[in-house]
Chains A and B, each alone.
Chain A
Amino acid sequence: MTATRAALVVALAALAAVPWWVQGDYYISVASQILIYAIFALGVDVLIGYAGLVSLGHAGLFGLAGYAAAVALAGGSGHFGAVALALAVALLGTAVFAALSLRATGIGFIMITLALGQILWGLAYRWVSLTNGDNGVGVATRPMPFGLDLEVASHFYFATLAVFLLALSGAWVFVHSPFGASLKGTRDQPRRMTALGYNVWLIRYFACLFSGLLTAVAGILFVYYTKFISPPTLVLTSSAEAVLMVISGGSGTLLGPIVGAALVVIVKNVASAYIERWNMLLGAIFVAIVVFMPEGLVPGSVRLAQWALKAIRPPPAPAGGSPPGRAGAP
């Protein structure tokens, strides 16, 4: 436990010191981006890892929150009002989204969330009078909490880090609470949980709401980060990227989605500097991860490394394990 605590302190110190050991505004911005997507991935992981429900429509909720904030700001609202409105709209949206998606579990859940996500995308794309269609909505200023000018890359990073730590602690409390335990119960043994008197549907519904809340927080941060939102933020590819972050880092843990988010954001930034074909690469990564390391990148690489080592150096034969036919062979 003390080792874990020490690791936690080191990680926190490293995160807080990012603006000093990373040189240049661009890289600090990338770090902010990683934290934003880590919150998003945590939200998706609450469903995939702890509830056993895979959503392919979360980019719709992410965008819903972002659009609500951007539209409110463009309409002249203050930052506090815009953020409050965005959270309320996104939670309301999630409430409807979850009520419909939870009519099914498993494959049905995936299909309904995908369809709902695309419908939200269609709304952002077509409802031109509200969303300005393909041109998107711009955000003029970032807020100035406690007089801190968030236009400065490192200041924005610190604000994002604060929100991220809050979201992470929230997620930690959530999954380690008795409620989190019952959520894992509905994932593994829904029938038994029903027999024990738990309302499985309601537990899943609350998990969806919490996931929606984290997603909305990430969406609002995103809109302040890019100061702009347009329909491509809501496309299926974005939902899929979030799922990729979760499964590549390892679902059902809190560290996994964070590592996955860092991985995907870095690969995407690096890759887009050299090649144009991010979507093809994303698809290939998806297929490769699923086929070769279904358990996630970190445990998967360990297993592949062990396998490669074994292939080079065959393990010593277990005692008495050699077939008798070969024992007397020259």
Chain B
Amino acid sequence: MSLWGILAINSVAFGGLLFLLSAGFSLIFGLMRIPNLTHGSMFMLGGYVGASLYMTWHLPFWLAALGSAAVVAAFGGVIERLLLRRLSGSILAQVLVTLGISFIVADFCLLTWTGDPISVTTPPALAGGVRAFGLFFTIYRIAIILVACAVAALLWVLLDKTRLGAMIRAGVDDPEMARVVGIRVSRLFTIVFCLGAALAGFGGIMGAPVLTVYPGLDTDMLPLALVIVILGGAGSLLGSLVGSFLIGFVYNFGQAMFPELAYFVLFLPMVLVLALRPQGLFGRHAS
């Protein structure tokens, strides 16, 4: 019983990390119609940069997390402005460029941080655990869940209650029409791309104490983001929230119950959704 309880908490915490990763991916995909294949690399880059800021430069953890989010956001902005902007309209070219950049980033990280995994110590204030209901909860995992919920709430307010959010939603629904009524969709592209990159980078350092940072983290996380967006539907915040927790549970429970087939279990929800509702659970149009 207690094993299942702990597994459930871990699943929710992992789902929170996945939400940080996939929310940006889904927004970028929904608005710009680009599957940003550098998203896994941004997660990994965020982890590495944050680990350096926190462990080597001894910044406070939250400052390091914000710093790495800012660095990754700037990196995303450069990619969007210098490369993706030039290729607008050609989807295949954009896919291949993001893929090419992800290889470069992966190799750059290998060169800079070596191939050894970096385990990031849990920030002292959040170390240890609490005992409740006969279960032992790691405080840091609860912190991840709270942070993910806070980010979800902030994103919801941003998208649903602000002028910028209304413009983004208009851009997702109908980019041409949004342009006609005077919304600068191309500026939205940059904002959303930087926001998505920042979230991924933030997720990378938030996840570092749990997942550690290692070469290959990018290609481990990217398919999860893809599966979540396929499940939840592109451009839907609610979809990526539900998809993240679903995949968090499936992945963790799959790993515990069928360790050899953990990756394969991810396949099942994807098969079901693709067969029954190809636009995703909360998607409005087919991807």
Contact residues, A133-185 vs B (CB, 8 A): none
CB-defined A-B contacts under 8 Å, sample of 20 = A56-B95, A56-B99, A100-B271, A108-B287, A111-B226, A111-B287, A114-B223, A115-B223, A118-B263, A122-B263, A128-B260, A247-B96, A279-B104, A280-B111, A285-B100, A286-B100, A286-B103, A290-B96, A291-B83, A291-B86
Q: Which residues of A contact B165 (CB under 8 A)?
A: none
By secondary structure, the A interface counts as: helix
Contact for B103 among A108, A116, A240, CB less than 8 A: A240
CA of A123 to CA of B223, assembled, Å = 13
| Interface presence of A308 (CB below 8 A) | no
Q: Are B226 and A115 in contact (CB under 8 A)?
A: yes
A110-B35 CB under 8 A given contacts A119-B223, A122-B264: yes
Since A284-B104, A290-B100 are in contact, a sample of 11 more A-B pairs with Cβ atoms closer than 8 Å, ordered by chain A residue number, is A100-B270, A104-B278, A115-B270, A119-B263, A235-B219, A236-B219, A279-B103, A282-B100, A283-B103, A287-B100, A289-B96
Given A100-B274, A279-B103, A283-B104, does the pair A111, B97 have CB atoms closer than 8 Å? no
- Which residue of the partner chain, among B101, B222, B229, contacts A283 with CB atoms under 8 Å? B101
A258–B32 Cα gap in the complex (Å)?
34
B96 CB → nearest A CB, Å:
5
- B contact residues around A129 at 8 Å (CB): 260
B150 within 8 A of A: no
Please give, as numbers and ranges, the residues of chain B lying within 8 Å of A235 by CB-CB distance.
219
- The size of the chain A interface, using a CB distance under 8 A, is 44
Is residue A200 contacting chain B, with contact meaning CB distance below 8 A?
no
Q: Number of residues in B with C-beta < 8 Å to the partner?
A: 48
Q: Contacts A235-B219, A283-B102 given; indicate if A119 touches B266 (C-beta within 8 A).
A: yes
Q: Pick the contact of A110 from B95, B101, B278 — CB < 8 Å?
A: B95
**B241 located at the interface, meaning its Cβ lies under 8 Å from any Cβ of chain A in the complex:** no
Q: Which residues of A contact B95 (CB under 8 A)?
A: 54, 56, 107, 110
In the complex, A111 Cα to B286 Cα: how many Å? 13
A311–B157 alpha-carbon span in the complex (Å): 53
